[in-house]
Amino acid sequence: MKLFRNFCVILLSAMSFTSVAQVCYNNATPADPDSGIYGFITNRDTDTGCKGLHISELQLSGATAPGVDRLLDFGFGIKAKNNRTLADDFTLSKRSTLANVKLYPYKNRIGSTTLQTTPIIESAYLRIWNGKPGEPGSAVIHGNLADNVLVSSIFTGIYRTNDNLVNSCDRPIMEVTADLKCVILEPG
């Protein structure tokens, strides 16, 4: 059995009763290449990365241990059946109806040497807490780890790499849309 590890970046979309869908929180997206903002794309050089596509490279930052100059990891693992989840803080400034969430996971070691064109993420499980998970007084106010809320999974054209394997085609980043079932949340 292969062990899969995924990397997530969260983008929440909110839709109010009187307006068109709008983003209520965004901690990183691939970004528009013409905007000058990379988002989680770290390299757009066509001579670097899988088949010249953009990459999201996990990089060393700050001081490292003696003799350590390369990363061997690619990010955080999330897999509901192994009780691995990833949390992100967000605050709403007004009452909001959340229609969906966009996540950007990669699936580890798909063993591909060709460009990823088919969906490889088959499920998404979400919970919204009213505080930090595990803290006294915090509770799940929406969602669970049993109901698959996946709407779609499409390839972003970006691969997850580290500074040791910048040309790897093993970790395609997918844009996963999950249904939040128009949950209404108060500010906070």
Q: List the chain domain ranges.
A: 10-185
Contact indicator for 81, 50 with CB cutoff of 8 Å: no
Structure token pair of residue 124: 């998404």
Residue 79 CB neighbours (<10 A): 16
Cα gap 4→78, rounded to integer Å: 8
Q: Which residue has the tokens 């967000």?
A: 90
The pLDDT score that the predictor gives to residue 143 is 94
Residue-wise pLDDT for 125-165, tens only, equals 999 999 888 899 999 999 998 999 999 998 888 888 887 78
Q: How confident is the model at residue 60 (pLDDT cuts 50, 70, 90)?
A: low
Summarised one tens digit per residue, pLDDT across range 12-48 is 443 333 345 677 777 767 766 566 566 677 777 778 8
The tens digit of pLDDT for each residue in 87-107 reads 888 888 889 899 999 888 887
Structure tokens at 68: 């350590």
Which two three-digit tokens encode residue 96?
Answer: 């909001």
| pLDDT per position as a tens digit, 13-22 | 433 333 456 7
pLDDT for 105-125, tens place per residue? Answer: 887 766 665 666 677 888 899
SS3 letters for the chain?
CCCCCCCCCEEEEECCCCCCCEEEEECCCCCCHHHCCCCCCCECCCCCCHHHCEEEEECCCCCCCCCCCCCCCCCCCCEHHHCECCCCCCCCCCCEEEEEEEECCECCCCCCCCCCCCCCCCCCCEEEECCCCCCCCCCEEEEECCCCCEEEEEEEEEEEEECCCCCCCCCEEEEEEEEEEEEEECCC
